[in-house]
Amino acid sequence: MAMTNPTEPLLMEDESMRDGLQMESRRFSLEEKLQLFHLLAQAGLRRIQVGSFVHPAVVPQMADTDALIRHIGPQGDTLVSALILNEKGLERALACGVRHVSMSVSVSETHSRKNARRSAAEALASMTVLIGQALAAGLEARGGLQCAFGCVYEGAIAETAVLDAALKMAASGVREINLADTTGMATPRSIRSLVRKVGEALPRVRLSLHLHDTRGLGLANLFAGYEAGVRSFDVCAGGLGGCPFVKGAAGNVPAEDAVQMFEAMGIDTGVNLEALCAAVAFLEEKLERSLPGRMKRVLDQRRGCERS
């Protein structure tokens, strides 16, 4: 599959149940997570990352990921995904029956030591082996490189370092690699440049982007990635998200804003905006605050004008 295939359909993976909820102090029950999942699936999101297999002492919000996946069960056209960071996580993934997993490491030495408690080189070598094991076990796996566009602790990350890591990860046999702007430092120019370099080196590997809106460039970076040929993007309903190991990390690109942007330009997303905003409303009700995404407020205001 060529990374720059212009006829490839757009895929948005919603990560509000993992990247979004992991930062929230308000614990969501299993029943509430199931409600959120079904709202997202009914909106037409075809891949949903529902949790991560991490120790509950580190991320308490993810403690019931195994049970959640068992309750969700097979979902037909909606692919359920989860994040794996180590061997124990892979064991749990295989035991609960999830079909798709994301497996990522940081290309930033400092972030890697804070996040994985090992050097970037050690983490990459270990994860590459683990990806091979996941693929051999029959799982669909996506590799990921965190801090690919910069690190708040180290500043700029050399594109050559990211490319070298991508080549090593691709050697595991993985068919998709996610380039993550973990600290929200990317610009449209850096998105286009890195996507081009990695895409040229790995033309048969599907590239996806994980973008944070820390500096207000989330949508601009997302569209720059689209123009560069990327067709898979991570988003979060409402703009939830962030990394507990990154100072000042803001949320992901709001799913509803991304849907609006693409649809307004005639690019089919397969997602129903009204239904997606119902999921945002559910999150705002449970969290008792407004979320950063704009389109739910736009639709609410439009309904108010129509009633007046």
Contacts of 164 (CB under 8 A, 6+ apart): none
Give the burial string for 217-226 (b: 16+ CB within 10 Å, else e): bbbbbbbbbb
CB atoms within 10 A of CB 230: 25
Separation between Cα atoms, residue 168 and residue 128, nearest integer Å: 7
Give the span between the Cα atoms of 254 and 291, in whole angstroms: 9
Which parts of 107-173 are beta strand (E)?
140-146
Q: Tell me how far apart the alpha carbons of residues 46 and 80 are, in angstroms, rounded to a whole number.
A: 9
Q: Which distant-in-sequence residues (6+ apart) come within 8 Å of 178 by Cβ? A: 102, 104, 142, 143, 144, 145, 207, 208, 209, 210, 232, 234
Active-site entry in 236, 243, 277, 305: 243
Q: How far is CA 111 from CA 32, 79, 253, in A?
A: 32, 29, 21
Active-site residue flag, 96: no
Name the token pair of 28. Answer: 């969501």
The full length of the chain comes to 308
Give the end-to-end CA distance of the chain in Å, rounded to a whole number.
51
Backbone angles phi, psi at 142, to 5 degrees: -120, 125
Are 49 and 82 contacting, i.e. CB atoms less than 8 angstroms apart?
yes
Catalytic residue numbers? 243
